[in-house]
Chain A
Amino acid sequence: MNAPAAPLSPYSSALGKSNVETHTLSVLVDNEPGVLARVVGLFSGRGYNIESLTVAEVAHAEHLSRITIVTSGPPEAIEQVGHQLERLVPIHTVTDLTLRGSAIERELAMIKVCGTGGNRDEALRLADAFRARVIDATTESFVFELTGAAAKIDQFVELMRPIGLVEVSRTGVAAMSRGKDPM
């Protein structure tokens, strides 16, 4: 028997069939009340994904904040995300760093690990290899601080899991284009 055809939605066009990509968008906004709600609301309202989001003021006198968003979807959908963001009045610029190529991306994480004996030694050895710093220690625990690309942090967290991972706190990605030109 033939499988029933998937219901055809007017919204799942030929566009929807392409591959899913992950892009990092750097968005410069007026630092005014509600601007983050506008950005987040746009993503939820239109069904876009947010994999990570960071925001902080970057120019105090000009009241500018930078929002860095990692989003995933088909390339056409990501192009839409960019255009929809540009429609928001308090948004100055939207840069797709992934499209631009070779952006630098960094994330900071704190990782709490608990254990005794050989596990403690192993945790410290691995931390050393990853250049993670100990920022808190007790006789039974460490808190490591690690900065790097998101994948490196993922890898470190996975290694800590069997050793005694307790919890993780991550900032999300901050990103910038390489070279002399601004984003």
Chain B
Amino acid sequence: MAREMTGAEMVVEALKDQGVDVIFGYPGGAVLPIYDVLFDHQHAIRHVLVRHEQGAAHAAEGYARSSGRPGVMLVTSGPGATNSVTGLTDALMDSIPVVCITGQAPTHLIGSDAFQECDTVGITRHCTKHNYLVRSIDDLPRILHEAFYVAQHGRPGPVVIDIPKDVQFARGLYSGPQNIEHKTYRPKLEGDPEKIEQAVSMMGAAKRPLFYTGGGVINAGPEASRLLRELVAATGFPITSTLMGLGAYPASGKNWLGMLGMHGTYEANNAMHDCDVMICIGARFDDRITGRLDQFSPGSKKIHIDIDPSSINKNVKVDLGIVGDCAHVAAALLDRWRARGLRADAAALKKWWAEIGKWRARKSLAYKNSSKVIQPQWAIERLYAATKGRDCYITTEVGQHQMWAAQHYHFEAPNRLMTSGGLGTMGYGLPAAIGAQMAHPRALVIDVAGEGSILMNIQELSTAAQYQLPVKVFILNNEYLGMVRQWQELLHGGRYSHSYSEALPDFVKLAEAFGAHGIRCDDPADLDAAIAEMIETPKAVVFDCRIDKTANCLPMIPSGKAHNEMILPDDEDLEAEIDAAGKALV
């Protein structure tokens, strides 16, 4: 069945065999043979010409996260590869399956500091799940298919395939993806049955149980979210989630406590602190989540379900670690819970919910609204109200606006929020929105942005124009690198060193220059109409939403504090809350 062809043809053939129909890329000398083959396959593979390779990487991430399929990017050697590094790192931190094909100087020039040569596999070794330098045409078909396998199986992540130009020209035998499995890499999907029994017993005996879930549930596919919902319904336990896990359990669900962590809700964080059995599914006890580690949920027995054995006992020692895929383990838990006829301790659970009710009554997401100036929380609420019920995908940049979006936009389904969680990459949102829009051409895709972040990959508006992608950029413009300003207020006595966004462009004119539609709104009374205009506009929109410049993102667990030491919106003196040790943390 093997057919003879060139390396460049193999790349395109492998993409087709892998079911890839969209790639994000930017050409250059070292990938010209592949681009030449793409020229003949434009009907099968749509190539999106980004305006910067970082954009290609984030677009591939947005595509992957919103569709559940791997994102593919194609860039040239040297600067093409180095420009991709931030996006690859982002995908590694958030476990997003991305296959990145890079061109390389011809084999005989490798190591000679040739034009646009760089040690791509060396540079990307630390920011990929795995990478390959293809030294021979004979290895190319296997590596291409193996890369897709590795990117998607186990804990997903980015994989780089570095292909020297002579290998792209060389002829060899191509074989398809049949039986492509890695010879050693075989992630474990099923949880250990004995541990499942133990977990179910612990859940049955719990008095103050809590589900704490994360991006792993979303990565495990829609079935995992469905099973999680069933598990929550069957047990009646409360549930909270990390930023990356939002939507796996619906925000309208009655057991939902809201997001946890540094900007999580009072009820979620206090429940984490006071629970007696914590069931962590596909989350990783990140420092944004745990707060002060030595006071993290001191009284609880912890169950941790993760496909990556290295996540278990990494930051927090747990009582029961179960290695496996979230969907498989959730199914097994549910199965055993039912088969053993277990029920939550109704009296204890009632008491626990009553306690949670008291925390909820603190209304930690409350804010003072104003009729004069748009409050950021209100802007997100209105955005939510206007888009509710629509087929809508939200991406974000990084900063206060990201947290406000997470707090006040209510996610009902998985794969609907694309945000840079682990790396916190400003400039992620617009290219990610382009990727999501490519995956869902008819959906409404909105990048909730800050005026600072959006300028980091603003060039991608040109991509949106070229492919007529109607992405909406909703900028919460506070004229500040707001999250930096907030920390300077809290930690540095209000010395606002270099955090004012000076010399901002006129975003309406900027939109027009890029062929998009520009909207500006600074009056709360006009907001709903302006949002409606944005949604109705059939092309890309840049919405300059002028908000309160000094609003802070609360509630907040100050650095170095525990879950039960949150700053709430009605606290007076914010600065006094953080001690010297806390100030040293990020």
Contacts and interface: CB of A to CB of B under 8 A. Distances in A.
B347 interface: no
Interface stretch (A85-93, A95-103, A118-126, A170-178): A85-93
Contacts of B313: 15, 76, 79-80
A14 B133 CA distance: 41
B309 interface: yes
Contacts of B293: 10, 13-14
A169 interface: no
B126 interface: yes
Contacts of A84: 310
B501 interface: no
B150 A34 contact: no
A37 B126 CA distance: 10
A8 B292 contact: yes
Given A5-B581, A34-B121, A91-B184, A86 B290 contact: no
A90 B184 contact: yes
Interface string A4-20: 01011111011100000
Interface in A48-91: 76, 79-80, 83-84, 86-91
A15 B314 CA distance: 9
A91 B234 CA distance: 40
A38 to B, nearest CB: 6
Given A15-B317, A33-B133, A8 B294 contact: yes
B388 interface: no
Count class of interface residues, chain B? 20 to 34
A84 B317 CA distance: 16
A92 B183 CA distance: 9
Please indicate which of the listed interface residues A41, A80, A84, A88 has the most CB atoms of chain B within 10 Å of its own CB: A80
A86 B308 CA distance: 10
Contacts of B309: 83, 86
B560 to A, nearest CB: 6
Contacts of B292: 8, 10
Given A8-B560, A34-B121, A92-B184, A87 B310 contact: yes
B294 A89 contact: no
A179 interface: no
A25 to B, nearest CB: 14
29 contacts: A5-B581, A7-B580, A7-B584, A8-B294, A8-B581, A9-B584, A10-B290, A10-B292, A10-B585, A11-B287, A13-B316, A14-B294, A15-B313, A30-B184, A33-B135, A34-B121, A41-B125, A41-B126, A76-B313, A76-B317, A79-B313, A80-B313, A83-B309, A84-B310, A87-B308, A88-B130, A89-B185, A90-B130, A92-B184
Interface of A: 5, 7-11, 13-15, 30, 33-34, 37-38, 41, 45, 76, 79-80, 83-84, 86-92
